[in-house]
Amino acid sequence: MSNAAAGPGAVAPSGDDESSWGPLRKLAIASLRLATLGTLLVVLSLVPMHPLSLLEHFRLQLLFGSAALAALAALGRLVVWFDLAALSTVLALVLVTPGLSGARNVGPADGVRVRLLLANVLTSNRDVRRLEQLIEELSPDLIALVEPNRTWFARLAPALVGYPGRIEIHDEANFGIALYARGSVRGGGERLGSAQVTIVATVELAAPSAAAPLSVVVTHPLPPMDERAAQIQARHLAAVAQRIRELPSPVILAGDFNTTPWARQFAALTRDTGLVDTRRGFGAHPTYPAFPEAALLRIPIDHVLVSPSIGVATRRVERDIGSDHLPVFVELVVPRRAPR
């Protein structure tokens, strides 16, 4: 069997080794088109044009896919295709690293621990008990909910007796939003850049907490499913950033942003607000879709961003609550309230 028959860039094994390489070589050759496609997808993810821009949300998947194809090409001794897949892997790694790099914020040495639970509950989800159990176990100081409606508010009421501070804005079209606090909440819903309501509030946690007053924003922009929706999402996040610049620090921004840490809109949001991603130092923490059968496609779109003066002691993705999103729990270290 000649090198020419083995395919582009192949180095054929000699003698009896050829038969042992046969099945693996066939598998490797079958992956050549995938290697080419993987490289193309990584490059196309750099194009700021819908729908190509949607690829930037799947950069982790593109990274692991490229690495797997590079390994397969190496096993098959397909030199040219290995080079192509390796180049794609390096490019994908360069694109992913900024969204995962950096150490977690430590926060003030005399800071106060504040626990926050963020959950997209899914309006059509009727399994309220799972969220109730999570609230009971975690005992968060702040709860930010996305996609609740009147049914959710009514059924959750017994579990939220200990949260006198609250803002509840229902919506039957998956854009309800709510904020609960073990203390007082001043503020309300605002339409920032789109028809979707954003909660903007000042929270003062009740004793025994000694936390300083917090500016808390909870938001849920449209998913960028088409060009128009992508433009609305960009305006929404830009308006949220502008509003945050007007708020007193420290600030907590939480919600289902329908965008990932590698997206241009997310980069603009952190740049324009100066807020820090609580994910930093903890990993990717993908949250959507929650379904186990789609785990390989899961991406991080549920976010908690904070002022640089706030530390992050703990961050984790919590268990399934029957929604298409997994909840996020963070334990923050916030500045202490000034003596009165």
**CATH architecture, range 112-334:** 4-Layer Sandwich (3.60)
pLDDT for position 91: 87
Structure tokens at 174: 């998956």
Distance CA 291, CA 322 (A): 9
Distance separating alpha carbons of residues 324 and 320, to the nearest angstrom: 8
Q: Give the percent of the chain with pLDDT over 70.
A: 89
pLDDT higher than threshold 90 for residue 43: no
The angle at the Cα of 176, spanning 245 to 144, to the nearest 5 degrees, equals 60
185 burial via Cβ count (<10 Å: 0-12, 13-18, 19+): buried
pLDDT at 117 > cutoff 60: yes
Residue 16 has pLDDT above 90, yes or no: no
What's the chain's Rg over C-alpha atoms? Answer: 24
Question: Would residue 107 be called left, alpha or beta, if left means φ above 0 and alpha means ψ between -120 and 50 degrees?
Answer: left
Q: Do residues 193 and 238 lie in contact, with contact meaning Cβ atoms separated by under 8 Å?
A: yes
Range of lowest pLDDT (44-58, 70-84, 186-200): 70-84
Q: Are 212 and 179 in contact (CB under 8 A)?
A: no
Q: 204 near 213, Cβ under 8 Å?
A: yes
Q: Write down the pLDDT at residue 23.
A: 66
**pLDDT digits over 238-253, tens only?**
999 999 999 999 999 9
Residues 280-324 have pLDDT tens digits of: 999 999 999 999 999 999 999 999 999 999 999 999 999 999 999
Q: Is 15 a residue whose pLDDT tops 50?
A: no
pTM greater than the 0.85 cutoff: yes
> In the chain, what are the domain boundaries?
3-100, 112-334
Q: Which residues contact 286 (CB under 8 A, 6 or more apart)?
A: 60, 298, 299, 300, 317
